[in-house]
């Protein structure tokens, strides 16, 4: 087999970029799509020239499909992933892996029992900006990484989103919404984490929607909107992360990693590109570093391509289930630590995913199978 046949379940907002980028990669083809709303699936199939628009059950019953991309809403991520695995298909999902740790563990357990792979977004850590950052660390530009700071702060989404309630319900909040990008980047750059602690707050228990559709309606906030966390990495490095929907303005960087020989400024982990800056101990100023890797543009789906290559080669994908479960556990860990007044010890282990080889791009992606 030189290519996988892939089906998408969930044809909403984010699906467009997955349909679009699939055409860039020569290791899989999207052969079918499905949605609870069959009309949505039909529309996407027509728009992107996909041979089959199915109900979910029809897609799962199609024996020619090797892998399902699960782009449904977080509340049903685990349910859809389990159905895909039960039907004998590998599954790659949008973030998060699941809402609860128990559901996440179940997905990994069933995949293991069936000898199938689980992959999960985000895959921005495979983009040019974060892979260049990883190479600079691995090549010793900042010496041994000793600390990291990460900031994702804004004032939430009720000012623009037409239906923002879900951001303030359980499973929402800034950590579950944006934490996967930041924490996956940190694990990719610094390795896994052994314990965390945190303080959380619901600063504004009631919020007023100011976007057009529901203007003036109130939201009762059910989940923390300010999470200040501390991480101890297995390597011995320490980190701080703030995710906030309570902040009007700030001038803090996305991610900075500080090492024994210098510092690295890492680009926005929600995007694929740069810029990446380094300032070594004896430098007078920061230097923008050339990007060493491909995929600077929005390449959501790169994780699926890497997963397809890994399956064809008999290896573990970079954006794999163990990594996404570790990230899910981290997000819960900050909240649990605050609720219980103590550190949260991680129970999950994951490998630091290997860097993509330099020189791999959309034109030669199948070469990844040879590395």
Chain residues that interact with ligand NAD, rule: CB under 6 A:
9-15, 35-37, 40, 56, 71-74, 76, 80, 94-95
Whichever of 40 and 280 has its CB closer to ligand NAD, that residue is: 40
Q: How far is the CB of 264 from ligand NAD (least distance, A)?
A: 25
DSSP-H helix ranges across the chain: 15-22, 38-48, 56-61, 77-86, 101-114, 128-138, 173-190, 302-313, 321-340
Cβ-based nearer residue to ligand NAD, 35 or 306: 35
Between 161 and 313, name the residue whose CB sits nearer to ligand NAD: 161
Nearer to ligand NAD by Cβ, of 10 and 239: the residue is 10
**298: which 2 tokens?**
């929005």
> CA-CA distance, 156 to 28, in Å (whole number)?
37
Kindly report the backbone phi and psi dihedral angles of residue 102, in degrees, each rounded to the nearest multiple of 5, phi listed first. Answer: -60, -45
CB of 171 to ligand NAD, least distance (A): 10
- Cα–Cα distance between 255 and 326 in angstroms, integer? 19
- Residue labelled with tokens 């203007």: 215
Closest CA to 234 of 190, 197, 186, 180: 190
Choose between 35 and 336: whose C-beta lies nearer to ligand NAD: 35
Q: By C-beta, is 67 or 337 nearer to ligand NAD?
A: 67
CB of 260 to ligand NAD, least distance (A): 35
Cα separation, 16 vs 50, whole angstroms:
12
What's the closest the beta carbon of residue 280 comes to ligand NAD, in angstroms? 35
| DSSP string computed for 235-266 | TS-EEEEEEESS-S-----SEEEEESSEEEEE
Residue of 105, 158, 143 lying closest to 324 (CA atoms): 105
Return the residue matching tokens 């491909």. 294
Q: What are phi and psi of 327, to 5 degrees?
A: -65, -40
DSSP assignment of 18-32: HHHHHTT-SSEEEEE
Rounded to a whole number of angstroms, the minimum distance from the CB of residue 228 to ligand NAD is: 23
Nearer to ligand NAD, 263 or 271 (CB): 271
Smallest gap from residue 79 Cβ to ligand NAD (A)? 6
Closer residue to ligand NAD (CB): 37 or 363: 37
Least Å distance, CB 138 to ligand NAD, is: 28
C-beta of 54: minimal distance to ligand NAD in Å?
10
Q: Which residue has its beta carbon closest to ligand NAD?
A: 12
Environment class of residue 302 by beta-carbon count within 10 Å: exposed (0-12), middle (13-18) or buried (19+)? Answer: buried
Longest dimension (CA), the chain: 62
């Amino acid at each position: 087999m030189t290519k996988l046949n892939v089906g998408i379940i969930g044809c909403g907002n984010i699906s467009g970029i997955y349909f679009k980028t699939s055409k860039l990669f020569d290791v899989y083809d999207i052969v079918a799509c499905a949605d609870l709303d069959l009309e949505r699936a039909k529309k996407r199939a027509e728009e992107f020239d996909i041979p089959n628009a199915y109900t979910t059950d029809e897609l799962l019953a199609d024996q020619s499909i090797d892998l399902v991309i699960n782009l449904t809403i977080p509340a049903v991520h685990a349910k859809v992933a389990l159905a895909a695995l039960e039907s004998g298909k590998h599954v790659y999902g949008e973030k998060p892996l699941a809402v609860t740790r128990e559901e996440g563990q179940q997905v990994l357990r069933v995949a293991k029992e069936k000898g199938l792979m689980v992959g999960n977004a985000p895959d921005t850590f495979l983009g040019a900006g974060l892979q260049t950052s990883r190479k600079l660390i691995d090549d010793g530009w900042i010496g041994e990484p000793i600390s990291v700071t990460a900031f994702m702060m804004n004032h939430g989404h009720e000012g623009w989103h037409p239906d923002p309630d879900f951001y303030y319900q359980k499973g929402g909040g800034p950590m579950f919404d944006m934490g996967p990008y930041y924490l996956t980047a940190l694990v990719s750059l610094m390795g896994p984490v052994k314990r965390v602690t945190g303080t959380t707050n619901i600063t504004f228990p009631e919020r007023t929607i100011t976007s057009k559709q529901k203007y003036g309606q109130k939201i009762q906030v059910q989940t923390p909107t300010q999470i200040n966390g501390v991480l101890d990495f297995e390597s011995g490095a320490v980190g701080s992360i703030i995710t906030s929907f309570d902040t009007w303005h700030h001038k803090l960087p996305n991610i900075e990693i500080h090492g024994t020989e210098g510092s690295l400024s890492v680009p926005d982990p929600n995007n694929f590109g740069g810029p990446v800056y380094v300032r070594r101990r004896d430098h007078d100023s920061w230097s923008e570093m050339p990007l060493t890797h491909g995929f600077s543009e929005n390449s959501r789906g790169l994780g699926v391509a890497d997963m397809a290559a890994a399956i064809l080669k008999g290896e573990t994908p970079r954006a794999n289930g163990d990594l996404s479960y570790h990230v899910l556990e981290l997000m819960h860990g900050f909240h649990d630590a605050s609720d219980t007044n103590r550190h949260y010890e991680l129970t999950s282990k994951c490998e630091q995913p290997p860097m993509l080889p330099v020189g791999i791009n959309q034109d030669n992606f199948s070469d990844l199978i040879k590395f």
